[in-house]
Amino acid sequence: MAKILLSTATVHGDELAFVKEAFDKNWIAPLGFNCDNFEKELADYLSQGETYALSLCSGTSALHLAVKLAGVKRGDIVLCSDMTFAATVNPVSYEGGVQVFVDSERETWNMSPEALEKAFQKYPEAKVVVLVHLYGTPAKMDEIVAVCERHGATLIEDAAESLSATYKGKQTGTFGKYSIVSFNGNKIITTSGGGMLLCKDKASRDKAFFWATQAREKAPWYQHEEIGYNYRMSNVVAGIGRGQLMHLDEHRDRKEKIYRRYEAAFKGLPVSMNPYLPDTKPNFWLSCLLIDKDCKVSPMTVLDKLAENGVEGRPIWKPMSMQPVFKGHDFVKVEEEAVDADIFARGLCLPSDIKMTEEEQDYVISIVKSCF
């Protein structure tokens, strides 16, 4: 059997029509009609056009511009999700901000609103929150938004993994004053690499565009009054994105089917699936397992067994508060034991590639079962 992978790109052919148009019009440079249309189409998908989207070369660059728009300056405290991919929080450092990490809750694995409140008690000067929806599962948005509003803080929403997931019918990526999505190769849809910044107002989008295009002032010559970046998305890449976007809901449905098959197959084992709230619809980007507390099997045992059999699994994202690079940064939790360290110690990600056949998934399931 071929190697079974965690999550890879799935292309359909519709992408090629848009890419071909870019070639036919000899417009393969950055910016251009595919970028404009991709932005419009994504904004419509998310919020019927109430979002101002900016296509960029990565989700990380989108997060960087979000942090700049939020006004983070050297020495500013920024309250961040602790259990996530480093790209969520690195851009805070680009601007000289200081991350304070906030523990997760057990119902969605995302930032705990109680821990966030506690972090604001400790750091009342904090003005920005960076929140992630891990593995495509929406966080407790009503509570998180309420805490942010109570403290007058700007919310940055990292929806890199959660595109198409909804919370009480509202798309993730539309809650933050600034939000981002990613089209990296392993995400639910991909452009091979790319991202989008999502703003609530046009002025912010325009300011981000200015920074993303080398901060060129309006003048007959090259005039610069601020430091800029080259963060643009190419018109070719945006064409891939437009074709992929046509298949986003289909990808989501296939991801959910994979999750449901794992869920049914593991009934009776001392494990549970990554949880979500009843009034949310995750995009099920990655199916994850949490091994029961009293069970002696470790995630590494399962991951090693999968690897021996040509199956790619992954540990849960190692919390940022446990990363050497963020040594000395504060971490705020409400329970005695850190919730996210516990999930990290007992969890793992299973192959969730939508091209995986039922037979292949059954094979993965049988290997997991053999570990218990």
Ligand X SMILES: *Cc1c(COP(=O)(O)O)cnc(C)c1O
How would you class 49 by CB atoms within 10 Å of its CB: exposed for 0-12, middle for 13-18, buried for 19 or more? exposed
DSSP 127: -
> Taking the complex as a whole, how short is the minimal distance between the CB of residue 190 and ligand X, in angstroms?
9
By beta-carbon proximity to ligand X, the closer residue of 34 and 184 is: 184
CA distance 340 to 336: 12
> Taking the complex as a whole, how short is the minimal distance between the CB of residue 223 and ligand X, in angstroms?
30
The pair of structure tokens assigned to 179 is 């939000």
By beta-carbon proximity to ligand X, the closer residue of 271 and 350 is: 350
By beta-carbon proximity to ligand X, the closer residue of 85 and 209 is: 85
By beta-carbon proximity to ligand X, the closer residue of 103 and 161 is: 161
By beta-carbon proximity to ligand X, the closer residue of 87 and 311 is: 87
Determine the Cα angle at 180 with ends 129 and 51, to 5°.
105
Q: Indicate the SS3 state at residue 110.
A: coil
By beta-carbon proximity to ligand X, the closer residue of 184 and 280 is: 184
- Which residue has the closest beta carbon to ligand X? 59
By beta-carbon proximity to ligand X, the closer residue of 237 and 368 is: 237
> Taking the complex as a whole, how short is the minimal distance between the CB of residue 299 and ligand X, in angstroms?
19
Contacting residues toward ligand X, per CB under 6 A: 58-60, 84-85, 87-88, 132, 158, 160-161, 182, 184, 195
> Taking the complex as a whole, how short is the minimal distance between the CB of residue 59 and ligand X, in angstroms?
3
> Taking the complex as a whole, how short is the minimal distance between the CB of residue 53 and ligand X, in angstroms?
15
Cβ(267)–Cβ(315) under 8 Å?
no
Cβ(195)–Cβ(188) under 8 Å?
no
> Taking the complex as a whole, how short is the minimal distance between the CB of residue 321 and ligand X, in angstroms?
16
Strands 178-182 and 280-281: unpaired
Determine the Cα angle at 281 with ends 359 and 233, to 5°.
85
By beta-carbon proximity to ligand X, the closer residue of 58 and 154 is: 58
Cβ(320)–Cβ(326) under 8 Å?
yes
Strands 154-158 and 178-182: parallel
Between 33-47 and 235-245, two packed helices, what is the crossing angle to 10 degrees?
A: 30
Q: Buried b vs exposed e over 286-324: b needs ≥16 C-beta within 10 Å?
A: bbbbbbeeeeebebeebbebbeeeebbbbebbebbbbee
> Taking the complex as a whole, how short is the minimal distance between the CB of residue 161 and ligand X, in angstroms?
5
> Taking the complex as a whole, how short is the minimal distance between the CB of residue 218 and ligand X, in angstroms?
30
By beta-carbon proximity to ligand X, the closer residue of 124 and 185 is: 185
Please enumerate in sequence order all residues whose Cβ is within 8 A of that of 202, keeping only pairs 6 or more positions apart, or say none. Answer: 52
> Taking the complex as a whole, how short is the minimal distance between the CB of residue 164 and ligand X, in angstroms?
14
